Structure 1
Amino acid sequence: MKAPIIFFCILLLNVMPYMRPCSAYVNLYLSSKEVQKLLGLPAEMYYIRNDEINWYALNFSLLIPPKVNDLFFTWECSEGQKVPYSVVIKISNDAAIPNFNLNIASHGFIPTTTQDFAISLPCSGKVEAEVYISIILNVTLSKDNTSTLIFLRKKTCLNEMGNDYVLLNTLPEIANSSSIFYIAMSCAAILIVILGILIIIYYLKDDKCKSTDGSGSAPTTTTTTTFLAALPRNGLNASCYGSFRRIPSYSLLNDDRSKNLQERIAELTIQRFKVHLNNIVMEGTFGRIYQGSYNNDNGSEEAVIIKTVADHASQVQISLLLQEGMSMYAVNHKHILSILRVSIEDHTPPFLLYPFNNNTNLKTFLQKCKVSSEGVHHTLTTQEVVHMALQIIKAMQHLHKKHLLHKDLAARNCVVDDKLNIQLADNALSRDLFPSDYHCLGDNENRPVKWLALESLLQKTFTAASDVWSFGVLLWELTTLAQQPYIEIDPFEVAAYLKDGYRLAQPINCPDELFAVMAYCWAMNAEERPTFTQLHVCLQEFYAQLTKYV
């Protein structure tokens, strides 16, 4: 009898390290420091608390900022018991993240004291991609019961990471407090000099503008300008022009919304893992437009355009993106590209999603239509130009019915597909993507100076009539294939130039009838400008005349 008892005791001694009493618990979580880094929240996130698995937390895919390379997990096994584990890491894109480093063994036992383990996931810097990372952890929480935990992560890798970020351990050390003082004083002196130069430039420009206003004479350049008095009036019938003055212009609109920005965003917010970035369509200093896809609630995938900003964008730029992107919130019209969804999870740069129907920016499309060394990409006929203008008018009519003003109507804020179907878009990121179209007149505000009505320039007054003025410039862009308006006029001189009665010149091959419509959009008095309803009647009549000969 003793032999079986001895054998059983030996077997029990070998198995005991793998047996755990009910008082032994496993905890695995993200520390408050790690959660602050990834989510911006001062709290711990538990995946396992006292052997209870938080499957809800495991369902979320956390976004890793491009500049974050190391992920830290905290774990422990109480009561000194041995709990075996194994870990496997899978990466979707080996070119973006060719190697990873795990500072623990791929299998072993969970430590009996509170410890951290880290996973290093540095980007190669050679490709730009969204990388999906799965951290698969197998843990034996009880006898004959192994649980598989999958931690989902997504990291955006950039081409320029090596230029944009500096490793902390390569920063020079500051020896003592005296060196800090001298560095601070040097920075302050440089800042004062820069501010002084900016103030001098501002006053010089201001004096220049004032002298132009007081002189009463117009600029001498006349190659791209004309007087309103020289407008052709023989194209359209007289009744159309008479209606411009008989019918009063659209009343002052109020663009205050019934819901605040936070409530609008909350209605459209989706989880970040449902959005997939494919390729960059346009890129500025801090703004980016991607083509991508979005998973609907019914499981289908929808092609979208995504507006976002880079990680180095300021909070002001992020706020401006949200405000301008939500400006046409809940506006449904076939000629308006309204926002579809928003993703602002994890305190990362927000994603603004718009429907994508193989369309492109109207301004870049028009520029490609110009004759180049490779030939003509596409030649726009007068009929096509008028048809495109009519679509924009319909969009603006609907917008004004909703008591909304656009305030930045231009080709850069429209999209077009291969069948010349136009959709009006908001102006989110336009200042960054088209910087030559915006100017600061010393008031610390970037504005589309050469598209604005005179009252918008001088008093910052925006009405339906000021949108009509901007439409006239947009119509000029269509006929010139997106030439820069008033290219020879200094932005500081535009207001004086317009006050003296000068306007854009009639483009080459532009019919008199079409240019007359533009010119009436630029009437000095806002009440003398046509409404979009009147513009639609006149251009529809002109379009009908054009189609008779086709």
Structure 2
Amino acid sequence: MGDKFFLFSFLLCLPLAKAGLNFFISQQESFRVLGLVAELAYVRDGSINDVAQHFVVPVPAHIHELCFVWVNADPKSVKYSIFTKDNSMQSVNHVSLNISNQGVVPREPQIFCLLLPCTTILPSKLEVSMKINFTSFNNVTVLNVVMKKDCSSEELRNVEQDVLSKVIPAEDSSFMLYVAVGVAFGILVVSLAAASCFLCPKHNLCHQQPPRTIVPSGTALYSPVQATCNEDLGAATLCVSDPAAHQIVIEDKTSFRLQRNNIHIGSTLLEGTFGSIFHATLQIPCQPLKDVIVKTVKHNAAEMQVKLMMEEGTRFQDLVHPNIYPLIGIVDGDGSRPLLVYPSVTYGNLKTPHKCTLCFRWLLYCRGSLDGSLPHPLCTQDLVTIALHVLRGVQYLHQQNIIHKDLATRNCVIDDQFHVKLTDMALSRDFFPNDYHCLGDNENRPIKWMAMESLTRREFSTSSDIWSFGVVLWEVTTLAQQPYVEIDPFEVGRVLRDGYRLTQPVNCPDELYAIMAYCWASSKNERPTAPQLYRELHQFHHQLNEYI
């Protein structure tokens, strides 16, 4: 234990070297996996840290992957080859990387991950070693990283079988037989459920139909109780809830409560100290299964943390807009931890995608996506389009007299059509601890995204949201760099009063930076409104298209 604390105290808060090869576990990843706010550096400026190399990383049972950051800032290119080995005593290696096993170390900081599943194939005490050969001209440097994971829980092994299916192909034809039988059984169950919906006696509800309700945008929401049939809405037969528990409509806005047995929790997508995000499936009677995302708190969460998640997570539940990430259901009131249910999104949020196999920041991933994994590399038009999507969501919130108070890329999600949607800030403090700071007042706040009046006087308005949007635009343009990284949080208020602002990003057009600076006017009355900003950005986007 003493060696561990010596190691982390030695590596705490080391800056990224400006030259040479660097290979490390970031502070955020170290906090997620080990619970320590420290950067574990294996190679610093071309020199291997022997203490780190002999440190065995204890990976918790619920962590499915371990992610590393690397960059070669030296003028000489460095080739790499990676070999992984586990203690399963089998010829097949059951751990997997999300990058190729050989190539060239990137010139910009990039993140890659090592999948560490727990399955019945692997030992209960999983040991994995990763050997990396770095080659520059004729010089070869060998680095060894050793990890251990406790996979003794049978429940955990069953949960992580889906991870294994992405890593290990089926080698036995009997495996395909089991899959086929399972699929056939699933189809049979769904068919029987659909038949029960369409064949139930119609006269049961003829004289006790529930009051007719209007759902905006044609959205039908159903309560999770015994399904019956109702033809009140026309010729089409719809499965709806029992009349006593019919969908709730308040001032033409929908709210939706679910039962816990409607939600089937799957793999963990994001893990915090007291909160978690899961992939799940939503099953409503007579409706097809739907992939969803579930936010919840752990059993060790305090009552205050539960209350805060519910307050922040339900702010957008009645809103309907293409650029707002909707809350589609709530599980609460049954004595267990509450669940917030959202639609599934392909790429997660702009800062950390939900796909475990991608586990690096989405914008940073785009920065290094030269392998064709995206339809095309992001250009300035794409970045401005992302900003326009965010701004449309901001404009809608302001029309609804709602102040977001925490605009940032971490609170924006992106779907498979690359549409960006604003989210609430529920559990963001837990998932992104490096983005929030407590200035001695026992309140974690996004200091480096906040307007001057919000920092000093706790004043929040549409103008303070516009300031934060300027920081979001800077994040998008820099592909998710950390704002004011060189400034201590306690000094942010002072340097802003002195006129200091975020510098113009590399390759950022002057016109785009002028729009950012427009958002950071000291006086809130001098900042643009969301409609004014939208017109400016839209015009700039049009000019870019004309130029191309």
TM-score by length of 1: 0.52
Distance 1:386 1:130 in 2: 38
Q: CA deviation at 1:123?
A: 5.9
Q: Is the 8 A contact 1:292 1:305 kept in 2?
A: yes
Residues 314-354 of structure 1, C-alpha deviation per residue, up to 9 Å, x if partnerless?
11111111011001120100110021100125311111001
Q: Is the 8 A contact 1:521 1:529 kept in 2?
A: yes
Please give the residue correspondences for 1:452-471 in structure 2 after superposition, counting only pairs within 5 Å: 452-471=450-469
Match of 2:528 in 1: 530
Considering only CA atoms, is the larger Rg found in Structure 1 or Structure 2? 1
2:317 corresponds, among 329, 343, 346, to 329
Say if 1:453 and 1:310 are closer, same or farther in 2 by CA, change over 3 A.
same
Match of 1:118 in 2: none
2:382 corresponds, among 375, 381, 384, to 384
Match of 1:278 in 2: 266
Q: Secondary structure at the match of 1:489?
A: coil
Match of 1:293 in 2: 281
Please state if 1:306 is matched with 2:294. Answer: yes
List 4+ stretches of structure 1 deviating above 4 A. 263-267, 372-378
Residues 211-264 of structure 1, C-alpha deviation per residue, up to 9 Å, x if partnerless?
xxxxxxxxxxxxxxxxxxxxxxxxxxxxxxxxxxxxxxxxxxxxxxxxxxxx99
Q: CA deviation at 1:129?
A: 3.6
Letter of the structure 1 residue corresponding to residue 365 of structure 2: K
Distance 1:504 1:338 in 2: 32
Q: Is the 8 A contact 2:255 2:317 kept in 1?
A: no
Distance 1:370 1:130 in 2: 30
Q: Is the 8 A contact 1:370 1:376 kept in 2?
A: no
Say if 1:540 and 1:372 are closer, same or farther in 2 by CA, change over 3 A.
closer
Say if 1:375 and 1:286 are closer, same or farther in 2 by CA, change over 3 A.
farther
Match of 1:441 in 2: 439
Match of 2:364 in 1: 367
Say if 1:125 and 1:273 are closer, same or farther in 2 by CA, change over 3 A.
closer
Q: CA deviation at 1:124?
A: 3.5
Q: Is the 8 A contact 1:271 1:345 kept in 2?
A: no
Say if 1:531 and 1:281 are closer, same or farther in 2 by CA, change over 3 A.
same
Q: CA deviation at 1:494?
A: 0.1
Say if 1:266 and 1:346 are closer, same or farther in 2 by CA, change over 3 A.
farther
Say if 1:302 and 1:375 are closer, same or farther in 2 by CA, change over 3 A.
closer
Note the residue ranges of structure 1 that are not aligned, 5 or more in a row: 1-93, 96-121, 132-262
2:304 corresponds, among 316, 319, 324, to 316
Q: Secondary structure at the match of 2:487?
A: coil
Distance 1:406 1:422 in 2: 16
Residues 459-487 of structure 1, C-alpha deviation per residue, up to 9 Å, x if partnerless?
11000000000000000000101100000
Match of 1:488 in 2: 486
Q: CA deviation at 1:296?
A: 2.6
Match of 2:395 in 1: 397
Q: Is the 8 A contact 2:452 2:497 kept in 1?
A: yes
Letter of the structure 2 residue corresponding to residue 346 of structure 1: D
Q: Is the 8 A contact 2:263 2:281 kept in 1?
A: yes
Distance 1:394 1:538 in 2: 13
Distance 1:325 1:342 in 2: 10
Q: Is the 8 A contact 1:265 1:342 kept in 2?
A: no
Note the residue ranges of structure 2 that are not aligned, 5 or more in a row: 1-118, 121-151, 162-250, 353-361
Distance 1:380 1:130 in 2: 33
Distance 1:264 1:345 in 2: 24
Match of 2:157 in 1: 127
Please give the residue correspondences for 1:491-510 in structure 2 after superposition, counting only pairs within 5 Å: 491-510=489-508
Q: CA deviation at 1:372?
A: 8.7
Please state if 1:545 is matched with 2:543. Answer: yes
Please give the residue correspondences for 1:214-363 in structure 2 after superposition, counting only pairs within 5 Å: 267-363=255-351
Say if 1:549 and 1:264 are closer, same or farther in 2 by CA, change over 3 A.
closer
Residues 144-167 of structure 1, C-alpha deviation per residue, up to 9 Å, x if partnerless?
xxxxxxxxxxxxxxxxxxxxxxxx
Q: Secondary structure at the match of 1:530?
A: coil
Distance 2:372 2:516 in 1: 30
Distance 2:467 2:350 in 1: 19
Q: Is the 8 A contact 1:332 1:338 kept in 2?
A: yes
Match of 1:519 in 2: 517
Distance 1:317 1:265 in 2: 27
Say if 1:267 and 1:393 are closer, same or farther in 2 by CA, change over 3 A.
closer
Distance 1:526 1:298 in 2: 52
Distance 2:493 2:530 in 1: 24
Say if 1:373 and 1:510 are closer, same or farther in 2 by CA, change over 3 A.
closer
Distance 2:492 2:271 in 1: 29
Letter of the structure 1 residue corresponding to residue 505 of structure 2: P
Q: Is the 8 A contact 1:283 1:433 kept in 2?
A: yes
Residues 155-186 of structure 1, C-alpha deviation per residue, up to 9 Å, x if partnerless?
xxxxxxxxxxxxxxxxxxxxxxxxxxxxxxxx
Distance 1:421 1:127 in 2: 35
Q: CA deviation at 1:292?
A: 1.1
More helix by share: 1
Q: Secondary structure at the match of 1:312?
A: coil
C-alpha root-mean-square deviation of aligned residues, in Å? 2.9
Say if 1:544 and 1:374 are closer, same or farther in 2 by CA, change over 3 A.
closer
Residues 516-538 of structure 1, C-alpha deviation per residue, up to 9 Å, x if partnerless?
00001000000000000000111
Residues 264-307 of structure 1, C-alpha deviation per residue, up to 9 Å, x if partnerless?
99942211000011211111111111111112354322221110
Letter of the structure 1 residue corresponding to residue 318 of structure 2: A
Q: CA deviation at 1:375?
A: 9.8
- Residues matched between the structures, number: 302
Distance 2:396 2:253 in 1: 22
Residues 63-112 of structure 1, C-alpha deviation per residue, up to 9 Å, x if partnerless?
xxxxxxxxxxxxxxxxxxxxxxxxxxxxxxx97xxxxxxxxxxxxxxxxx
Q: Secondary structure at the match of 1:443?
A: coil
Q: CA deviation at 1:127?
A: 3.0
Residues 346-404 of structure 1, C-alpha deviation per residue, up to 9 Å, x if partnerless?
31111100111424111121122233998997732110011111111111111111110
Letter of the structure 2 residue corresponding to residue 342 of structure 1: I
Q: Secondary structure at the match of 2:547?
A: coil
Distance 2:473 2:372 in 1: 24
Say if 1:427 and 1:299 are closer, same or farther in 2 by CA, change over 3 A.
same
Letter of the structure 2 residue corresponding to residue 358 of structure 1: T
Say if 1:358 and 1:126 are closer, same or farther in 2 by CA, change over 3 A.
closer
Distance 1:380 1:428 in 2: 29
Please give the residue correspondences for 1:61-72 in structure 2 after superposition, counting only pairs within 5 Å: none
Say if 1:302 and 1:450 are closer, same or farther in 2 by CA, change over 3 A.
same
Q: Secondary structure at the match of 2:294?
A: strand
Distance 2:488 2:529 in 1: 30
Say if 1:264 and 1:545 are closer, same or farther in 2 by CA, change over 3 A.
closer
Distance 2:160 2:339 in 1: 14
Q: Is the 8 A contact 1:340 1:355 kept in 2?
A: yes
1:427 corresponds, among 425, 428, 434, to 425
Q: Is the 8 A contact 1:328 1:426 kept in 2?
A: yes
